[in-house]
Structure 1
Amino acid sequence: MLRSLIITATLAVCGAAHAQTAPSASDIAHYSGLHLAAHEGRVDEIDRLIAAGADLNARDNAGRTPAHVAAFASHDEAVAALAKGGADMNALENRVYDVLTIAAVANDPELVSLAMELGNKPDLITSVYDGTALIAAAHLGHHEVVARLVAGGAPLDHVNNLAWTALIEAVILGDGGPDHVKTIEILVEAGADKTIGDRDGVTPLQHATERGYADIVKLLD
């Protein structure tokens, strides 16, 4: 119980400081060119600006490229237009997020698949936790996103700098409900290593047992 409380408190503090941050109203008010067109999803304007030589990888004050801005606004066609024009789909903004992880956190399966099709690498190391899009999606129980990332070749057993895999995050940061159960089912069926423990050697099964997550215990046992 004490370990669970420590884990929860640690992530609450760290997450508040390092969570993804979409463009604010103030940011948007200062946008022009490709950043504005991306935010508004205006593909014709994106194409016009690209043809005129606009910088596809220009950064706003938070390090967001137009592709990041389009992803935060869920404008799939704008993301595609930028990528096809030559935008770097593996660029990281100041909080170390790429388009793919933005889409994963937003629970946007279609954009997740599109980002990978456009060259966004599913094994890219993202966030200040040195994680991946898969770990972020597993943490949140976004099982359809998890399924698409797995199908796209995302590394199942990447260990972040908290010493957590996607399986561990789905257990200790999940609620044990249907979405996290399905997430863990997908990871286990895909071959995620159930024996990898956290930095104290505590396995996903042990964490699930400690929390009384019976359905998850059945999947991990």
Structure 2
Amino acid sequence: MRGSLVSLVVALVVTAHPTMSVGQRASGKDLLRAVMTKDVDAARIRDLLSEGADIDARDEAGRTALLIATHDNRIAVARALIEAGADVNAKDRIDDSPYLYAGAHGHLEILKMTLAHGADVKSTNRYGGTALIPASERGHVDTVRTLIEAGVDVDHVNNLGWTALLEAIILGDGGERHQRIVGFLVKAGADVNLADRDGVKPLQHARSRGYREIEAILASAGAR
């Protein structure tokens, strides 16, 4: 009779956790493999975490499950990980973190979640830039506004000697998105006369590229 009861309990455990052997706990590798599966859902992530998977385990590139999910802008999976306590500032081997990557690539919903869960707005990428700088360059209007509101330093200078304002002009296309971003940066107090390493100021860069609308925004803010 006792043996029958033990067998029944074992059967119930195996049924409840079909991917695990009896007495086995989920590992960080299990979580990483799951997140790399494009059709994995948030429920499966939560199951693996409840089974003991290391939430901040890293793959060979130093990426956590959250960073992998952020790469593909998988919002539901990222939310499940963040709400369970995943480190939004954990960097991989090339100094990307979920926060920095979401900001640079305009993954706005994930970015907002990282900001609500302790993102380090002073952290920098491999180019020595804050999340605001690539977001400005790439024309992610709502992302730029969100990062400014979060308190990112608008005059931070990266390893190239460029601020967010300079990158928006030098690497932007001068179109409506970059005009709006320049306007946001100026309104937030960006130094419109802060030159690059060659002594070239934002207004000069705008003029040389024929970005008349941006030139007007800068001139009205006192750019020389």
The alignment's TM-score, normalised by the length of structure 2, stands at 0.79
- In structure 1, the partner of 2:116 is 117
Name the SS of the counterpart of 1:33 in structure 2: helix
Count of aligned pairs between the two proteins: 190
Query: Is 2:92 aligned against 1:93?
Result: yes
Equivalent residue letter for 2:92: E
Between 1:65-74 and 1:78-87, the stretch displaced more is 78-87
Give CA deviations for 1:144-203 in whole Å, capped at 9, x if unaligned: 110111111111111001110000000001111111111111111111111211111211
Shift of 1:32: 5.3
Contact 1:70/1:78, CA 8 A, preserved across alignment:
yes
Name the SS of the counterpart of 2:49 in structure 1: helix
In 2, Cα distance between the equivalents of 1:86 and 1:104?
20
Between 1:75-84 and 1:159-168, the stretch displaced more is 75-84
Shift of 1:73: 1.8
- In structure 2, the partner of 1:131 is 129
Give CA deviations for 1:66-85 in whole Å, capped at 9, x if unaligned: 01011112122222221222
Contact 2:45/2:81, CA 8 A, preserved across alignment:
yes
The alignment's TM-score, normalised by the length of structure 1, stands at 0.80
Shift of 1:123: 2.0
- Decide which of 17, 35, 49 is 2:32's aligned counterpart: 35
Query: Is 2:79 aligned against 1:75?
Result: no
Q: How does 1:153-172 map to 2 (within 5 A)?
A: 153-172=151-170
- In structure 1, the partner of 2:25 is none
- In structure 2, the partner of 1:51 is 50
Unaligned runs of 5+ in 1: 1-30
Shift of 1:107: 2.1
Question: What is the aligned-residue RMSD (CA, Å)?
Answer: 1.6
In 1, Cα distance between the equivalents of 2:196 and 2:128?
15
- Decide which of 189, 202, 205 is 1:204's aligned counterpart: 202
- Decide which of 211, 214, 218 is 1:213's aligned counterpart: 211
Contact 2:132/2:152, CA 8 A, preserved across alignment:
yes
- In structure 1, the partner of 2:14 is none
Between Structure 1 and Structure 2, whose CA radius of gyration is higher? 2
Unaligned runs of 5+ in 2: 1-27, 220-224
In 2, Cα distance between the equivalents of 1:108 and 1:89?
14
- In structure 1, the partner of 2:10 is none
The percent identity for this pair of structures is 41
Shift of 1:34: 1.4
Post-superposition, which runs of at least 4 consecutive aligned residues in structure 1 deviate over 3 A?
Answer: none
- In structure 2, the partner of 1:182 is 180
Shift of 1:86: 2.4
- In structure 1, the partner of 2:61 is 62
